[in-house]
Structure 1
Amino acid sequence: MVDRLADWVQVVDALYPQNHAASWDVAGLQVGDPNDPVGGVLLCLDVVAATLDEAAARGADLLLAHHPLLFRPLDRLTPATVPGGLALRAARSRIAVLAVHTNFDSAATGTTEPVVRLLDLRDVTPLEPALGDGDCKLVTFVPVEATEAVRSALAEAGAGSIGAYRACSFAVRGTGTFVAPTTANPTAGQPGRRNEVVEDRLEMVVPRARLAAAVAALRRVHPYEEVAFDVIERLGADEDGRGMGRIGDLPEPVALRGVGERLAVGLPSPHLRVAGDLDRPIRRVAACGGAGDSLVGAALDAGADCYITGDLRHHVALDACSAGMAVIDAGHYATEAAALPILHQALAEASARRGLTARLLASAVRTDPFQIDPGRGWDKGAL
């Protein structure tokens, strides 16, 4: 059976859900009809003219790119505009474009994983942990005589589970006030006047999947005509290790120059810029593939001796050094291109499990726009 574009969208979303992308990101399907057939998938870092040429030459119907082609709203779609012209060309060529961006960056094994492996970091955790899809807390206000019935109904509906414990709740007593309309039939008090009722504030956690059932149970057993309740979103650190960047420890201290040498040898086409004393011993290392100078503060707070990323700005690097942390700018392209084999393997395994048959290809196009001192860059032993 021929793969459909929708099949590959589902594979990517199962591995790297779109709701795990940053709020400002535009990951996902950008060009293409989900019903179109897909016989070949070309994995690349960027959608440029050369990768579109490559896709056409290699029979790929889908460009699966790390960087989104369309990041901002377009005011025209003509051949002479960028990126509109590329999107127009892709659509005309029936080459779909699917972006897996910060939803891959933040994965437990995502963009920063190559640096973690290259430096053999230990005790690795996210530098900026992602917020998990936490449970909700359901809060309601119940007349004292009905508290136990409401508590039991909510527990039966799936509320109140914390780890291995069931029917967990918290209640505190207070006074509720209300004025019921003259046409109402309140459970307590009188219509048309201000009433005070002794009530329990009852709280129970509820899995998101059981929230509708819990609210239905609450409405069914609560004695009031108008049931007052709040649903509070509970956010906590993701338990799957998601988050932007990584921080960990080297097995033993290494001079800053040694860290740079490992990156120079292990990353594809790195253009290393180092700020700090090259002889300084480094033990605790933070890293973020791509453009990560927004996480310099997090690296400092986490006690990093050195922070590795790309696209570091001049004053950000100065401030980091002034605060006592060395920084290495290894390049946006180098720190992200190194992760494409990881993405390729994950997609190959996931698509095989689903029985998809399209060929998954790795782009041979180098999309790093920079050449810095060609032939004179850092090579092994140059530091």
Structure 2
Amino acid sequence: MNLKDRAQGAIVGAFIGDAIALGPHWYYDLDEQHKDYGEWITTYTTPKKGRYHEHEEKGNQSQSGYILKLMIKSLIENKAYNQEDFCKKLDEDLFTKIDGIPTHGPGGYTSQSIREVYRQRVEQKLPWDKVGSRADTTEGIERTLALAVLYALNTKELAKSISHNTFLTQVDDIVGSMTVAYGAVLAQLIQGEKLDKDISTKLMKLVKKGELPFHAVTSDNLKPPKDGAKDPSNIGLFASPDALLSPSFMAQAANDKDIKIEPAWKVSLVYGMPCAIYHMLPACYYLSARFNDDFESAILHALNGGGQNQARSILTGALVGAQVGLKNIPQRFIDGLNEKEEILELAKKLSDIIEE
């Protein structure tokens, strides 16, 4: 397994996570989910009438997958992140297909942050540098995970491009910091590092080297600051590195024999079913550490946890896909994608331009 295989695994894993949750998306009543889809969902399903994606076919992508494809196409065409080009794609290829109503648009549902920016761009005619929402969700991660792949070996550019792209639609610093942190974790996994108790130590070393834009006053291994050490400037920095520290704790919990979450899908009950980023990321890190070499178990436990299981599956799919590589993702998950050939081609082309 090499870097390109892991990079392609991350991209394909994200698309699988998006499509596999299309049917049972947003069931907060698990009894209702079990009634519609059975106790354990194992594959792609057709959305039920009256649900969020009712007019879509099983194996289709939601709007998250649609936007992720726009991002990847822009990266491939420009061989780098070009914000102007990505914004143009949103204006021409997305905003012309939505109308600000939640249940309309590609994939059958348009998220809060995208609806708000649509209104600002199309109805209020605001320039791109004047738009954004207070949505505390993971839409930023769902598209910028492609930036983490492209810049897996260039941490500074990763942080810069992910933060700039996230703030197009979500202007909260906490959301920004957690989105950049996820991208940094994904990049480490693409490099071949492990999602374990040491992952945060590696990330903090990048902070100390000035490659990740987080404010940190502690010395090595979170020890007290050295006597006389200067307080780092906050200009251009996220306020706290805590978003970089949490993955290690989730990984420790996943591997601690005294901490039992059984079955593993109940991690959604432990960390919460809702859409907010602070519910999603802990569950994704936990599942991705626990099933670091088992894509099928990771994606199915993310899926069967109910609530915002689509975001949980996308983010987990990318993290575990990066750990197992494309060649170790079960073929049945790839074959079930209705856009299989296009997705595989995009993943390969993106991996071919990863910056050395």
Query: Does TM-score exceed 0.5, indicating one fold?
Result: no
- What's the TM-score once normalised by structure 2's chain length? 0.24
Q: Which has the higher strand share?
A: 1
Higher RCO by CA contacts (8 Å cutoff, separation 6 or greater): 2
